[in-house]
Amino acid sequence: MFVRAYPLAAFAVSSRPFRALAPIAAGLLLAFGASAQDRVTPPTTYGDAMRWYEKAAEAGSPRAQFLLGLKYQHGVDRDPDPAKAAGWFRRAAEGGHGLAQYRLALALHQGRGVGRDIGEAASWYRRAAENGIAEAAFNLGYILDNGLAGVADAAGAAKWYRVAAEAGLGSARFNLAVLHAEGRGVERDPVEAWIWFTCAASAGRADAEDYLRRMDEAMDSGQRAAARDGAARRCSPPDGG
């Protein structure tokens, strides 16, 4: 029996990036049509920068909207406000911001600041994954793998796990290995399973080592040679785990 890796949470964010936003805020505001009066004095303090960010966000900057969402989510200089965070993430997500799409999907998945809706979360994970967010691809794969939004779709899960696995995500490599070992959504293939467990281990998944030992004992010499050759060619340095 194989135990899968669980969905990933959001990236950790500190307040430090918000401390040097004045030039960025000014640029965003100018780019999105501030009034002539607003353009006269660029912000020089953190408080002024935040006010300019809010103006830029209201003017339609997805980047400013996303950063305000982070500010409300993590309670930078105020108590966290998950509802406001989700609102800003939604506006940025609708503007095509990939990380905002991922954060909105997480909020919907976890019911944080917005009603829990796994189906809508899956939709936003898909859009974020299409924007190159590997964590979103993994979480979408997990939803499809376990049928959390309805009927399970192992083939769809394998597709999105592979996207995240090829981006170097250890948890995706692990779960893709499980599907190959079980023959769910893909052809049962101990060589492919061994390769992806090896890649998962190289990305920091220590629990993959036990499965590797068990599979190694069950494979013949030809399979072991093919698996080792495949892992040597395929396991690129991980971008995350």
**Is pLDDT at 240 greater than 60 in this prediction?**
no
215 in any annotated domain = yes
At residue 169, what are phi and psi to the nearest 5 degrees?
-80, 120
12 in any annotated domain = no
User: 123 or 7: whose pLDDT is higher?
Assistant: 123
* Helical (H) or strand (E) element with 174: helix 170-182
Local structure of 113: helix, strand or coil: coil
What is the total residue count of the chain? Answer: 241
| The pLDDT of residue 241 | 44
Tokens of 64: 């400013």
Percent of the chain with pLDDT over 70: 78
CA atoms of 84 and 91, how far apart (whole Å) = 11
At residue 49, what are phi and psi to the nearest 5 degrees?
-60, -40
149 in any annotated domain = yes
212 in any annotated domain = yes
45 in any annotated domain = no
| The pLDDT of residue 118 | 96
Most confident stretch, 20-29, 33-42, 50-59, 229-238? 50-59
Most confident stretch, 20-34, 39-53, 61-75, 176-190? 176-190
57 in any annotated domain = no
| The pLDDT of residue 24 | 55
**If 0-12 CB within 10 Å is exposed, 13-18 middle and 19+ buried, where does residue 10 land?**
middle
| 157-186 pLDDT per residue, tens | 999 999 999 999 999 999 999 999 999 999
**Is pLDDT at 233 greater than 50 in this prediction?**
yes
Instruction: Tell me which of 22-31, 77-86, 213-222 is least confident.
Output: 22-31
227 in any annotated domain = yes
At residue 98, what are phi and psi to the nearest 5 degrees?
-60, -45
| The pLDDT of residue 216 | 85
CA atoms of 196 and 136, how far apart (whole Å) = 19
| The pLDDT of residue 113 | 96
Q: Which amino acid is at 230?
A: G
Give the pLDDT band of residue 76 (cuts 50, 70, 90).
confident
Local structure of 122: helix, strand or coil: helix
Q: Which amino acid is at 49?
A: A
Q: List b or e across 70-103, with b for residues whose CB sees 16 or more CB atoms inside 10 angstroms.
A: bbbbbebeeeeebebbbbbbbbbbeeebbbbbbb
Answer whether 129's CB lies under 8 Å from 163's CB: yes
Conformational region of residue 9, where left means phi above 0, alpha means psi within -120 to 50, and beta covers everything else: beta
116 secondary structure, DSSP code: -
Number of structural domains, the chain?
1
CA atoms of 238 and 210, how far apart (whole Å) = 20
CA atoms of 29 and 85, how far apart (whole Å) = 20
Could you tell me the CATH number of the domain that includes residue 214?
A: 1.25.40.10
| The pLDDT of residue 49 | 73
**Is pLDDT at 25 greater than 80 in this prediction?**
no
**Is pLDDT at 228 greater than 80 in this prediction?**
yes
Give residue 171's domain range: 134-241
Give the pLDDT band of residue 104 (cuts 50, 70, 90).
very high
Which residues, listed in sequence order, are joined to residue 169 by a DSSP beta bridge? Answer: 240
